[in-house]
Structure 1
Amino acid sequence: MTAHALPPVVDAATWEHRLEALRAREKAATRELDAIAAERRRLPMVRMPDYTLEGEAGPVRLADVFEGRRQLIVYNHMWSPGQEWQCPGCTGFTSQFTRLEFLDNYDARFVVVTQGPIKEALAYRHRVGNRMPWYSTADSSFGADVGAPPDGGFAVNVFLRDGDTVYRTWHTNGRGTEQLSHTFALIDLLPYGRQENWQDSPEGWPQSPTYSRWSASKDIAALYGPASESAL
């Protein structure tokens, strides 16, 4: 990064002209996302087996994880056995979701499922100040069957319940999860963006190795965990 890594300075009329040109592309992207969402609503679905997961109150059928709602979003949180601090990306991603009650109006629920044993998973949830409902698939093939096997990556899956029958309607992983995050949406508005080496940025813009600016799980715990509450 140079000492003068700044966008060029122009008059207001030139700035408005460039902004309007960019806005036209942004609006086109919005319309494309609308079209993608419309196609998502037309996807077929796959019937799921009658899985049993482990919740805070004990074993629970997948159909009962919905808690009476018809739609369910599941974030499969990466889990490394024996580690005090789990995946910082998953920890940071799920720490965003502190107010999910609005999903009630859409007959939906959003939960975390992890391969970790339920007691360890709940302890970690408390340690990092996570507020989402957590379930364990340690004794079930559910995680592996929906793209998040033991020692595997993270994933987002969506399910629809019809009575006691559950169907899988959508799945994504990798950068496909970014659309659910407000962090990247806000960072991408900034003049310097994510400041990662892979991004297309003007010469002299600040850039760092990928992930180097992400908060560590320990840092997230310091901000949102029980120790942070006692400091208030």
Structure 2
Amino acid sequence: MPGGTMTEQTARALPPVVDRETWQAAVDELRVREKAATRELDAVAAQRRRLPMVKLPDYTLIGPDGPVRLVEVFDGRSQLIVYNHMWSDGAQWQCGGCTSLTSQYVRLGFLDNYDARFVIVTNGPIAEALAYKAEVGNTMEWYSSSDSSFGADVDAPPGGGFAVNVFLRDGDTVYRTWHTSGRGTEQLSHTFPLVDILPWGRQEEWQDSPDGWPQSPTYSKWLDSPDVARLYGRRREA
């Protein structure tokens, strides 16, 4: 549906029309599963809060002003969320999935009330990382681990995939408490929850949808890096 235009296919993709009572009964039936999923997520979060942790070396990253110890990246806070951004040195556009996901994290001040901070760390050169940050309109702090083994040690090696890692600081000692990658990052996004409540959902071929529902190749509707730059970065002002 380029530009959001309704096509012949989508014009036919309509749920059955029923009376209000029938609709409410169907919603109530679904709500049982939705509530069960919510309670399961609560249980998962409770188990996460009981995870052990592992002590980390005293890594040195590179920030906008030069070398900085990992413990200093906390900026005085006790907890730190790191998005390890995929990177290809010298590329004009970096990973579209990483770029699209991180473009959502623009208002992070609420983390202050939780004694926490969110930053991006990439294995790429800091000058390239900062230029890309401006190009796509990100506002959080970016750091580089190009001169250390930090990325590889937290399951986001150079040339590898992305990851989310969480750390806890006790004085000058940093511990790793949690990690995820792949579809584990979906619950950290508002994109998929919003799209999933739409009648047509994500419209991706792998999903279980009614016959006749619009479906496209996986990733085809995701914003790519140039799209993010056009919508939110320097190119918006061009």
Q: Same fold (TM over 0.5)?
A: yes
User: Matches of 1:210 and 1:81 in 2, distance apart?
Assistant: 26
Paired residues in the alignment total 230
2:192 is aligned with 1:184: yes
Report the Cα distance in structure 1 between the residues aligned to 2:10 and 2:62, rounded to whole angstroms: 53
Give the Å deviation of 1:32: 0.5
Deviation of residue 4 (structure 1)? 1.2
In the other structure, the counterpart of 1:7 is 15
Report the counterpart of residue 50 of structure 2 in structure 1: 42
The correspondence of residues 27-176 of structure 1 with structure 2, limited to 5 A, is 27-176=35-184
TM-score after normalising by structure 1: 0.97
Segments of 5+ residues of structure 1 without an aligned counterpart are none
- Matched residues in 1 for 2:136 and 2:61: separation? 22
Instruction: Tell me if the contact between 2:90 and 2:128 (Cα under 8 Å) persists in the aligned partners.
Output: no
Aligned-pair identity in percent equals 74
Using structure 2 for the length normalisation, give the TM-score.
0.95
**Partner SS state of residue 93, structure 2:** coil
SS of alignment partner, residue 68 of structure 2: strand
Deviating 4+ runs (over 4 angstroms): none
Determine helix, strand or coil for the equivalent of 1:196: coil
Cα distance between partner residues in 1 of 2:205 and 2:147: 40
CA deviations over 1:189-224 (Å, ceiling 9, x no partner): 000000000100000000000001111101110111
Contact map agreement 2:58 2:70 (CA 8 A) in 1: yes
In structure 2, C-alpha distance between the alignment counterparts of 1:79 and 1:219, rounded to whole Å: 18
Report what 1:20 is aligned to. 28
Counterparts of 1:55 and 1:104 in 2: how far apart (Å)?
20
Shift of 1:2: 6.2
Deviation of the 1:3 alpha carbon? 4.4
Alpha-carbon contact 2:84-2:162 (below 8 Å) kept:
yes
Query: 1:218 and 2:230 equivalent?
Result: no
Q: 1:2 to 1:123 in 2, by over 3 A?
A: closer
Could you say what the CA RMSD is over the residues aligned between the two structures, in angstroms?
A: 0.9
Who is 2:5 aligned against?
Answer: none
- 1:104 aligned counterpart, secondary structure: helix
Relative distance call for 1:195 and 1:224 in structure 2 (3 A) is: same
CA distance in 1 between counterparts of 2:19 and 2:213 reads 22
What amino acid is aligned across from residue 67 of structure 1 in structure 2?
A: D
* Amino acid corresponding to residue 103 of structure 1 in structure 2: L
1:65 Cα offset (Å): 0.3
Post-superposition offset of 1:135? 0.3
SS in 1 for 2:12: coil
Structure 2: 5+ residue stretches without partners = 1-8
